[in-house]
Amino acid sequence: MTQLVLLRHGESTWNQENRFTGWTDVDLTPKGQEEARQAGRLLHQGGYTFDMAYTSVLKRAIKTLDLCLDEMDQLWIPVVKSWKLNERHYGALQGLNKAETAHQYGEEQVHIWRRSYDIPPPALEPGDARFPGKDPRYANIAAALLPRYESLKDTVKRVVPYWETEIAPMVRAGKKIIIAAHGNSLRALVKFLDHIPDADIADLNIPTGIPLVYEMGEDLRPLRKYYLGDAAHIASATAAVAAQGKVK
């Protein structure tokens, strides 16, 4: 049996402000930092240890991993950062308040933008200063590979090959891995691991800062998965993510 832990970053400033975030590199709030530390405490109390960690190139995931590993006294493990684990690129929605967008375009449209499998958000205009090609952290990546928007399906197309070529071989080799990433990059991975049909993925919401443990067979087929922590808190945090697209 192998084990894998997925961890969505703690609350970010734009989670707190209820803004579409995507590739915008916003920081954790104090609550988000505490969620990350609490994740580390739960993992430590549960006797978990890791050989390696993977995260994105966005500071809310990097800092979450750091705070979590600090609580576990495991800051020394190798950490690989990849843009392939970044959040879904939310295109021209990035920065908009989700409830205001629901007010303007309707809750149904916002739900489609947030949770449909293959309907993308509006693209960034050519020349938009937010295009990742203008950001030095993506300087070594061909501009054609960098998104101006992504549907979840597009996110699956970058996350799953990264899982298959970089992370899965480590898990197969018996390495204990934690992946600290984002709501939708983790939804993409969970969809793949659990074989969730396209039509059903809309119902999956992942709360911030709560470790999700997978127990897997040798073939990396999930046998069991569970969040660590208080069940009522996990349920309300998950429902709160789903409700972010409602008119307030």
Ligand X SMILES: O=C(O)[C@@H](CO)OP(=O)(O)O
Point out which residues bind ligand X (CB under 6 A).
15, 20-22, 87, 90, 114, 183-184, 241, 244
Minimum CB distance to ligand X, residue 238 (Å): 11
Query: What is d(CA 3, CA 177) in angstroms, rounded to the nearest whole number?
Result: 7
Closest-by-Cβ residue to ligand X is 21
Tokens standing for residue 175: 């390495």
Active site residue 87: yes
Phi and psi dihedrals of 140, rounded to 5?
Answer: -90, 10
Active site residue 108: no
**Nearer of residues 50 and 120 to ligand X, judged by Cβ:** 120
Query: Was 11 annotated as part of a binding site?
Result: yes
Query: What is d(CA 40, CA 71) in angstroms, rounded to the nearest whole number?
Result: 5
- Annotated catalytic residue within 9, 35, 150, 182: 9
Minimum CB distance to ligand X, residue 8 (Å): 8
> Using an 8 Å Cβ cutoff, are 145 and 83 in contact?
no
Minimum CB distance to ligand X, residue 173 (Å): 31
Query: Was 55 annotated as part of a binding site?
Result: no
Query: Was 115 annotated as part of a binding site?
Result: yes
Query: Was 209 annotated as part of a binding site?
Result: no
**Nearer of residues 68 and 152 to ligand X, judged by Cβ:** 152
- Annotated catalytic residue within 35, 44, 71, 87: 87
**Residues with active-site annotation:** 9, 87
